[in-house]
Amino acid sequence: MNYNGIGPVNQSTTLQSMADQLKISTKLQSFFSVGGIAGQPMLRLAQNVNEMLLTKRMGWKFNRAFLGSNNPAQNPAFFIAQQGFQDYSHAGATCFTLINSTTPGGSLPAGGAGVDLNPGVYQNGVAKLAYGTFNGGNAYGPVTSWQDHGIIFDPVTGNLTVQFLDPHPFLLGNIGTSIFLIQGVMNPAFNSSFVYNQLTQLSGWMNGYTLLSIPDQFHIVLAGNGGQKNTITNISASAGITTITLGSANSVPVYPTNFQGQYGPANTTGNGIGPGAIMTFTGVTTNSALNGVSVTILSATSTQLKFTTPTGVTITNGADTGTIYAASSGAPGIWNFGWIESAALIDINNPSFPLPVDPIDAVHRIAPEYTSTGDNLSISMELDYGNGVVLFRLSEPVSTYPFAFSVTYQAKAPKFINGQSVFQWPDDYSWVLFEMLLWQGMRFAYGSTAAETQSQMQVAMMAVQRALESEDREASEQGIVPNFSLMR
C-alpha cells in the first residue's frame, strides 16, 4: 500500500474533480456546502462509494496489503505462534526465539508474541488522535511497570526491555540460553536480520539478543547487541549535516552479508549502528541541545555517523562527550485492516531458503478449541481493536514447534476530509467512481426520478462488475481443485 513513504502514484482522483463531473450530469447542481453544511453532501456520497467498493468481497490487486512473507528480509510483519495459544494480538512486530541448538524443541519454550505499539498520532479524517501502548493501567493484576513504548533501551545498563501485547511463553530456562530475535519494530536499530544464500539454499539470522531476566509475563529484558549504543568524542556540522565521531568501533553491516550457509544461533554481539537507525542523545556536554532529540542516521562508518541537523539546533564544532543510543520504539500498528484475502503458514525454524510455506484457509470466524483437531488449519481476524492492534485466531492451538503466519488483506476505505481528499481507487478505474457517484448523487439531486435512480444503480453495478473482471483476467491456480473435501 505504501512503500518508502510513497503512496500509490496511480491514485489521484479527488472529490472535487468528481463533484465537477456530477455537476455536469445533474443540471449544474452543487454537491459542496449545500444548505451551508461544509463539504456536504459530497463528503457523504464519496464516503459511501469508496466504502462500498472496498467492503464488497472483491480482492482488488491495488488494495492489497501484506503482513509478512516467507522471506522476512522482504516483509518482516508476520506474527509467530506459541504453544497452547489460539488467539494472537498483532500490531506488525514480533519478538521470538526459534527451535535450534540453543532452544531444543520440547525442552524450552519457543515462539513468541507481538511487540506493543510505538506511540504516535493517527489522523482519522479531520480528527488527530494520539495513541499510546496497547497494554497499561495495571490491567493485568500483578503487572505494574507498563512502558510507554513497546521497546525501551536503557543507555546506562545497555539493556532493552520488550513489552508484549499477549503473555509471552518464556521461562527461567530461556535466560542466558535462547537467542532472541526482533522483527517489524519501527526503529531499525532493534530489528534482527534474516540472511540467506541462494546458491546453498540455506538461511539464518543475524543481530540476535541474549535474555537476561523476565520481570513478568508481559516483559523481558534483553542485553543490547552493539547496535543500540556508542559514545561520542567529536561533533561537527556542515551544510545541514551533522557528523559524530564515535568512541568505539562501529561494526557496519556488510552487503552481501557474510553468510556461507552455516545454520545456528544469531550473533548477539559485535553489531553496529547502521543507516536508518533512529537514535537519541544523553550526556552531551558542549552541544547539550541534542540531548533528548531523536535523529535518523543517514550514513555510518566504523568511526562516524551522519544525520540531518535537527531544526532549531546549532552545532558547535569540536570535541564533545556524551552517548548516542537507540530511541524507544515499538510496533507500527495495523490501522487499515478490512478483511483477510489469504494467509499462509511459514516454517520459520527451517534453515532452508526459501522458507517452506503452506497456504491456509482465511475464514470469517473460528470457534474456540483446546486441542488439535486434525483438520486443515485456518485463520480469522476476530477483532480489530481500532487502536492499531488486531486479534487473529487460529483454528487450533499449535504445538511446541512454533510457526510464523503471514496474512494478505484488503485495506479499508479512508476517511475523507475535504474536496482535495483522494479516492483510494486507481485512476484507470475512475469511470467506476463516476457511475457509482452518479447513482448515489441522483438520490439527493433535485429532479431525479426513482426510475432514473434505479436505472443508474444498474449501470453502476455493471461498471463494478466490469472492473472486477478486468482485474481477474489471469488464470488462477487456486480454485480449480479444492485443497480439502467439499463434503467436510
Q: What is the CATH number of the domain that holds 288?
A: 2.40.30
Question: Residue 91, by phi and psi: left (phi above 0), alpha (psi -120 to 50) or beta?
Answer: alpha
**Separation between Cα atoms, residue 269 and residue 251, nearest integer Å:** 10
Counting other chains too, the contacts that 120-124 makes at CB distance below 8 Å and 24 or more residues apart are: 120/333, 122/333, 122/335, 122/388, 124/415
Asked if 439 and 456 count as a contact pair (C-beta separation under 8 A), the reply is yes
Q: Strands 357-362 and 378-384, how do they pair?
A: parallel
Does the residue 64 lie in any domain? no
**Separation between Cα atoms, residue 448 and residue 442, nearest integer Å:** 6
Asked if 415 and 47 count as a contact pair (C-beta separation under 8 A), the reply is yes
* Domain identity same for 54 and 114: no
Q: Which grid cell sits at 245?
A: 565521531
Does the residue 262 lie in any domain? no
Crossing angle of helices 430-442 and 15-25, rounded to 10°:
60
Does the residue 432 lie in any domain? yes
* Domain identity same for 315 and 215: no
- Per-residue DSSP letter, 6: B
**CA–centroid distance for 285 within its chain:** 37
Residue 356 CB-half CA count within 13 A: 6
Asked if 192 and 124 count as a contact pair (C-beta separation under 8 A), the reply is no
Cis peptide before 72 (omega within 30 of 0): no
pLDDT number for residue 480: 47
Beta bridge partners of 296: 278
Q: How many domains does the chain have?
A: 3
**Separation between Cα atoms, residue 344 and residue 289, nearest integer Å:** 48
Query: The whole model's pTM is what?
Result: 0.89
Asked if 362 and 376 count as a contact pair (C-beta separation under 8 A), the reply is no
* Domain identity same for 114 and 197: yes
**Separation between Cα atoms, residue 171 and residue 177, nearest integer Å:** 11
- Per-residue DSSP letter, 333: -
pLDDT number for residue 226: 92
* Domain identity same for 117 and 130: yes
Crossing angle of helices 430-442 and 42-55, rounded to 10°:
120
Which of 326, 349, 370 terminates a domain? The answer is: 326
**Separation between Cα atoms, residue 349 and residue 67, nearest integer Å:** 18
* Domain identity same for 281 and 156: no
* Domain identity same for 318 and 338: no
Residue 239 structural domain: 229-253+268-326
Asked if 197 and 260 count as a contact pair (C-beta separation under 8 A), the reply is yes
* Domain identity same for 372 and 287: no
Write the CB contacts of 462 (distance below 8 Å, at least 6 apart in sequence): none
Does the residue 397 lie in any domain? yes
Write the CB contacts of 367 (distance below 8 Å, at least 6 apart in sequence): none
**Separation between Cα atoms, residue 80 and residue 93, nearest integer Å:** 10
Asked if 134 and 116 count as a contact pair (C-beta separation under 8 A), the reply is yes
* Domain identity same for 85 and 128: yes
pLDDT number for residue 287: 97
pLDDT number for residue 258: 59
DSSP 456-480: HHHHHHHHHHHHHHHHT-S--SSSS
Using DSSP, how many helices (H) and how many strands (E) does the chain show?
A: 4, 26
Does the residue 82 lie in any domain? yes
Question: Residue 458, by phi and psi: left (phi above 0), alpha (psi -120 to 50) or beta?
Answer: alpha
C-alpha closest to that of 430 among 7, 3, 11, 9: 11
Q: Which grid cell sits at 375?
A: 483438520
pLDDT number for residue 263: 58
pLDDT number for residue 381: 95
**Residue 457 corresponds to which amino acid?**
M
Asked if 353 and 198 count as a contact pair (C-beta separation under 8 A), the reply is yes
Element (H, E) at 201: none
* Domain identity same for 99 and 199: yes
Does the residue 52 lie in any domain? yes
Does the residue 478 lie in any domain? no
Q: What is the dihedral of CA 258, 261, 265, 268, to 10 degrees?
A: 0
* Domain identity same for 48 and 80: no
**Separation between Cα atoms, residue 367 and residue 375, nearest integer Å:** 13
Does the residue 260 lie in any domain? no
pLDDT number for residue 237: 96
CB atoms within 10 A of CB 418: 15
- Which residues, given as ranges, of the chain have pLDDT below 50? 1-6, 137-138, 141, 261, 479-481, 486-488
